[in-house]
Chains A and B, each alone.
Chain A
Amino acid sequence: MLRLVVVNLFRNPLRTFLTMASVTVALFLYCALGGILDTLQESIKVGSESRLVVRNKISLVQWIPMAYRQRIESVPGVKRVVVQNWFGAQDPADTKGFFAQFAVDDPYYGVYGKDFDIIAASDPLAPVTIPDGADPKLAAYYAEQTACVVGEKLLAKKGWKLGQTITLAGTIFPGSWPFTIRAVYRAKKKSFGDETMFFHYKYLSEKGMGGQEPVGTYVLELNDPSQASAITHAVDSQFENAAPATLTETEQAFQAGFVSMYGNIPFVLRVIGLAIVFSILLIAANTMMTSIRERTSEFGVLKTLGFTDGAVFGMVVAEAAVITLGGGLLGALGARALVSGASMPGGFFPPMSIYWGTVLTGIAIAVVIGAVSGLVPAVQASRLRIVDALRRVE
């Protein structure tokens, strides 16, 4: 019986291939679009529930003063405070290959020490003090104001080398910005990403802001994460009547807020994905019905030989299932294999992720397409009367 299903699939190989290919492409697109949603979700995981982010209450793009730092550090329960500023420069050699750059101060590598490993570093030119929790391999970085740390994927993508001096063109902070790559990191968790560059906040402050010290965000490391709510309140209440006021939230909530700036895009992506799937469902159903209609007399013969209505029904559904499930598996698994790990445009997000849940949903959709597209022709074929199928009434 299986042989019968297989030979019928190859009866018109081009049609079978094209139908399967259309399902493959549809499921590939569905999973790739789902992957964007997964990546947005993944980017929230970068944030920790045990770290807090303080930003300008009005908007993320508004600064907060460096003067707040000391007052924040004095809040009971705050262990360390990190300054983090978005830089947003371009590589003149590759203006479309945007990547994220952050100016951070010294404690950053201690606070985030558990999130990545330093896999390569230059030798230090002079002895230097390493902040608590930071990797000692960062000595050369700490000893040089124009030094930077880059992710290994970014390094490979740009073809840079450790010790190389690169020059970026500032956008928010105009001018030509030379940096020397003194260390390369590898993220311990995928969500952290390997395509970001970090450099000294002091370099940004002195070269880009004329010695002024506006801050994008403060990241707070806490002694006791269970006190996060009280500390949040304590920090914000300090600046309640100041200009600017602050908004403090967990790092995870901060990332979620960042993602929410994408508004209805996730909804639109879902609708597009479902529209693709629905159109393919119609195509697959039409193909199956055409294929069955062409074989009407053969079903009559099979039934004359003793094949039951149920056997004929099963054969048609099996044909549809092989086409759609085969195409679905190729598309969904292909999307995971090819799209996972690719860079998201914009440089804000970790590498693309396609969760297994999305892949399984895609495969389930392929099963449903198979069932629905095969169901109508299968019912038609199984209900077919032999005398009508043979079309010979004497």
Chain B
Amino acid sequence: MATVDVRDVVKVYRRQTEEVRVLDGLSLKIPDGAFVALMGPSGSGKTTLLNLIGGVDQPTSGDVSVDGTSIAKMGGAALARWRSTSIGYIFQLYNLIPVLSAQENVELPLLLVSMSGSERKKRAKTALELVGLGDRLGHYPRQLSGGQEQRVAIARAIVSDPKVLLADEPTGDLDRKSAEEVLQLLERLNREFKKTIVMVTHDPHAAERATTRYHLDKGVLSN
């Protein structure tokens, strides 16, 4: 059964009078528990596709289903609620909140569900321990290395136990060693915790770690 089902999706951006057709009738099925790498040149529509799967953006036409839920026409508030429980998002530049500690950053998605403060802290601690940062709970982003920041971001993505993780160039801003640690972590999450992962990357070395690789060019997908 496909966890992610993208059907005939068209995405058009309007810039003043100009229309840019980023995705043109794209279809993609990602099975449950897959680790998919999306590659392609800049401007090919990789992040746009990731955003559509994550419910961060909506298609001009076509449909996107994740775990059986059609999100293409979902309203703003419902989509936000859906994102908070169903998707974990990992950004290239980590995007941690600088004024919050590592643990507080990881707790953020849990603020959106009914949960006691102590339970929230416990879960955030567990997630940070899972990514190897159990001793950095009180550290602020400025006190962490890039690799550590990205691992905090991964802990934040998994803390609410979503089925799907979306990673947008997760190693793009890291040195080789840190990138390797992050890739190993993603592999582990896929293998041990059965997370379905969709990763956008320019790095062929990173893409090799995925079980399936797609190439996107001018809105058209190929294996």
Q: Interface on A for B, CB 8 Å cutoff?
A: 1, 3-4, 7-8, 10-11, 297-298, 300-311, 385-387, 390, 392-394
Nearest Cβ in chain A — how far from B213, in angstroms?
A: 17
Docked CA distance A8–B99 (Å): 7
Give bound CA distance, A394 to B43, whole Å. Answer: 4
Chain A nearest Cβ from B170, distance in angstroms: 13
Q: Are the CB atoms of A306 and B80 closer together than 8 Å?
A: yes
Instruction: State A304–B83 Cα separation when bound (angstroms).
Output: 7
Q: Please tell me if the beta carbons of A308 and B80 are within 8 angstroms of each other in the complex.
A: yes
Q: Assess whether B99 is in contact with A305, with CB atoms less than 8 Å apart.
A: no
Interface hits, B157-189 → A, CB 8 Å:
168
Q: How far is the CA of A4 from the CA of B111 in the complex (A)?
A: 10
A366 to B89: give the CA distance in the assembly, Å.
Answer: 39
- In angstroms, Cα B111 to Cα A387, docked, is 22
Q: In this complex, what residue of B is CB-closest to A306?
A: B84
A386 to B91, CA, bound (A): 13
Query: A394 to B56, Cβ gap below 8 A?
Result: no
Q: Are A304 and B56 in contact (CB under 8 A)?
A: yes
In the bound assembly, the distance between CA atoms of A303 and B54 in angstroms comes to 12
Other A-B pairs, 14, CB within 8 Å; known A304-B56, A305-B112, A390-B91: A1-B111, A4-B108, A11-B98, A301-B95, A303-B56, A304-B54, A306-B112, A307-B80, A308-B77, A308-B81, A309-B77, A309-B80, A394-B46, A394-B47
Chain B residues with CB under 8 Å of A8's CB are: 99
Interface-central residue, B45, B46, B108, B168, by most chain A CB under 10 Å: B108
Evaluate whether A394 and B200 lie within 8 angstroms (CB atoms) in the complex, with A8-B99, A306-B109 already known. Answer: yes
29 contacts between A and B (CB under 8 A): A4-B97, A4-B100, A7-B100, A7-B104, A8-B99, A298-B97, A304-B83, A306-B80, A306-B81, A306-B83, A306-B84, A306-B85, A306-B112, A307-B112, A308-B76, A308-B77, A308-B80, A309-B77, A309-B80, A385-B57, A386-B51, A386-B57, A393-B13, A393-B22, A393-B48, A394-B42, A394-B43, A394-B44, A394-B46
In the docked arrangement, what's the CA distance between A114 and B51, Å? 80
Residues of B near A309 (CB, < 8 A) are: 76-77, 80
Q: What is the CA–CA distance of A308 and B55 in the complex, to the nearest angstrom? A: 13
Residues of A within 8 A of B48 (CB): 393-394
Q: A3-B104, A310-B77, A392-B47 are in contact. Are A305 and B109 (CB under 8 A)?
A: yes
Given contacts A310-B77, A387-B56, contact A304 B47 (CB under 8 A): no
Is B156 part of the binding interface, using a Cβ–Cβ cutoff of 8 Å?
Answer: yes
Interface pair B76/A302, CB less than 8 Å apart: no
B73-94 interface code vs A (CB 8 A; 1 in, 0 out): 0001100111111000101100
Cα of A7 to Cα of B97 in the assembled complex, Å: 10
Majority-rule SS of A interface residues: helix
Interface 1/0 per residue, B60-81 and A, CB below 8 Å: 0000000000000000110011
Q: CA separation between A167 and B76, bound complex, in Å?
A: 81
> Are the CB atoms of B95 and A297 closer together than 8 Å?
yes
B153 to chain A, nearest CB (A): 10
Given A301-B91, A305-B89, check contact A387 B99 (CB 8 Å): no
How long is the Cα–Cα vector from A298 to B105 in the complex, in angstroms? 12
Interface residues of B in 101-123 (CB under 8 A from A): 104, 108-109, 111-112
- Closest A residue by C-beta to B96: A301
Distance A284 CA – B99 CA, assembled complex (angstroms) = 22
Docked-complex contact A11 and B99, CB < 8 angstroms: yes
Give the chain B neighbours of A300 by CB distance below 8 A: 95
Complex Cα distance, B108 from A8, in Å, reads 14
Smallest beta-carbon distance B70→chain A, Å? 18
Closest to A382 in B: B76
- Pick from B46, B92, B111 the residue with the most CB of A within 10 Å: B111
